[in-house]
Amino acid sequence: MHASLLELRLSSCHLTNIFPSTKHVSFANSLVTLDLSANTFDSELPAWLFDHASDMNISHIDLSFNFLQGQIPKSLLSLRKLETLKLSNNELNGSIPDWLGQHGNLKYLNLAENLFHGSIPSSLGNLSSLVELSIGSNFMTGNIPTTIGKLFNLKSLFIGGNSLSGVLTKKHFSNLSNLEALVLSAPVSFDIDSKWIPPFQLNGISLSNTILGPKFPAWIYTQKSLEYLEVPNSRLSSIDGDIFWRFVANITQLNLSHNNISADLSNVMLNSDLIFMDHNMFRGGLPHISANVIYLDLSHNSFFGTISHLFCHKLGRENSLDYLDISSNLLTGEIPDCWEYWKGLSFLFMGNNMLTGEVPPSMDSFIDLIILDLHNNSLSGNFSLDLSNITNLEFINIGENNFSGPVPVKMPHAMEVMILRSNQFEGNIPSQLCSISSLIQLVLSHNKLSGPIPKCISNFTGMGGAKKTSHYPFEFNLYNKGQDLEYLDYGLLRTLDLSDNNLSDEIPRQVFSLVQLKSLNLSRNHFTGKIAREVGDMNNLESLDLSSNKLVGEIPDTISGLSFLSFLNLSSNYLVGQIPVGTQLQSFDASFYDGNPGLCGAPLPICIESNKYGGNNDIDDDDDDSFTQSLYFGLGVGFAVGFWSLCGSLFLNKPWRHNYFRFLNRVADQFH
């Protein structure tokens, strides 16, 4: 290595070893800048960097975004020329050392996203040259020291941690005249006079998870250069009406989410690029939006009325809206037929409202749509939209409505999630669905579907292979493991749910070839036959529900090898024999095996005779078939004798025949 090397920048190089031999670090004395950020180092901070610190000229160190552990060594104090120390996004622990306040030349200190604990040392107030201080997202406790207010050169302050407490006063900000960005995320309160005028003019304020309310603080109105204002989960309940909306009109990013703000927005015009106002108590009609708005989340509020005024007006120029969430409100009326103005939408959430009528034809005019969520409304009619040309569409949820007719199949081949549960869809499961090979979630439960499962279901390579899927963080609910569960990332779950229909015939072996499935629910149908041994190939399965069918035979012993299985329900079938021995199978509640009179073995009562109901496990399939044939033959003979004993008499004796059918009519009348 060159002895006079000044800068070493090896960021994002997939390096794993930060401990070179000392003979390779002869450059260290000349080095001014060291950037090893975004690698995969998982050791303590390197000794070679500090052993001869007093002889080094290094002034910039960036080791952020690694997996470094341990504490900050005191030998760091010998780096007298140090101006930049970035250790964020590691696993460093211990306390932030008090002696760090002796680094008089330090300008940039970033220790965020680590495992530091203890109090924030007041000595940090001695770092008079500090321009950026970031110590958020750790496990710090106690109060924020007032000495922070002495950092007159500070431009950016980021302090956060769920265990910080105390009260912030004017003294904390008294000399921060150069402050441009204030980011606090901690349950601290503010004791500041409503007439206070801060010494700074901020570009950005983020005060999440603080005790800022109940009233929006007056001192924020003095900040005339704000580009972003974020006050989520800060216990706000009231804003100053027109004053507030005029103040935020030119702010680029506005975040008021997770508060208790109650205000009528019917006549408000929203203009910010990014708007987060979800989980509040906003009411009235939906607000108006300008063409600048890119991201708008108004979900989980109390907006009511129709939605046509939001969509069916031209904005004067092409709109920028990419993300719209108006779900979980009290919105009513039909979905307007004017989506040609909003072709650029990528994410559309309108679920959990009271929308009615049919889906309008213009909803197939989207170009870039990725997610469409209309679930839990009162929408009806056939879902006949042709969405096959929306090539980016990956997720559709139209469950919990009143849609009828056949299952919609005009979907793009990139579709990954189709949730159609709790509607009135009828007919067979169309084989055209099998062409959507990217599906990782197909939920058709609680409909009126009939017929067999198509064998082409094995074409779902997203469920059967290791296909890479998309990851979009948003909330959605699925019935899994016997209950409704909330998920935040649909790319993490592969599920097939055909439960509560009128499906019949045997469960095709192709279903069990979908080995990437985590949840398989075929319960409450009319499936017959045996459970195929191939069920044991589904090594990723966490939940299996085959209850309330007409399945026969023994539980295949291969099922005991499903090591991830945490939910199993085989109740209300005609299964027989001993429950296979396996850790999971014996740990499930006995009720999940109930309704199978021929089953025995833990957690049910022990088997009295090993072959009483299920026969010997060593008997081959041919013997099983012979037994079955004999059984069916005996049943057939018995049926024939009984049938002709009764019906022959009826056919030969006219009075008996008339009396018998009058009796059947009376019985039928009792059921109407």
Sign of CA dihedral 635, 636, 639, 641: negative
As given in the structure block, the two tokens for residue 206 are 């983020």
Distance of CA 586 to the CA centre of its chain: 32
Give the chain's length.
672
Mean pLDDT by 10 residues, the chain (672 residues): 76 83 57 91 80 74 95 88 95 96 95 96 96 95 95 96 89 96 95 93 96 94 96 95 94 98 95 97 95 96 94 75 97 94 93 97 93 97 94 95 97 94 98 93 97 95 69 64 65 89 97 95 98 96 97 96 94 96 86 95 84 42 41 39 39 39 37 36
Question: What is the predicted pLDDT for the residue at 663?
Answer: 36
Nearest residue to 503 via CA among 407, 569, 409: 407
As given in the structure block, the two tokens for residue 180 are 């441009």
Question: What is the predicted pLDDT for the residue at 464?
Answer: 76
Q: Cβ distance 368 to 345 under 8 Å?
A: yes
What Å distances lie between residue 336 and 343, 362, 561, CA to CA?
14, 9, 52
What Å distances lie between residue 2 and 23, 27, 28, 367, 394, CA to CA?
12, 6, 10, 55, 52
Residue type, 131: V
Question: What is the predicted pLDDT for the residue at 341?
Answer: 85
Question: What is the predicted pLDDT for the residue at 57?
Answer: 83
Question: What is the predicted pLDDT for the residue at 319?
Answer: 86
Q: What secondary structure does DSSP assign to 313-341, as a single string?
A: S--SS-----EEE--SSEEEEEPPS-GGG
Question: What is the predicted pLDDT for the residue at 468?
Answer: 55
Burial of residue 599 (number of CB atoms within 10 Å: 0-12, 13-18, 19+): buried
Q: What secondary structure does DSSP assign to 584-613, as a single string?
A: HHHHS-GGGTTT-TEEESTTSPPPSSTTSS
Residue type, 130: L
As given in the structure block, the two tokens for residue 118 are 């203890």
Tokens 């001014």 belong to residue: 32
Question: What is the predicted pLDDT for the residue at 25?
Answer: 55
Question: What is the predicted pLDDT for the residue at 136?
Answer: 92
Q: Cβ distance 350 to 328 under 8 Å?
A: no
Cα separation, 309 vs 108, in Å, equals: 49
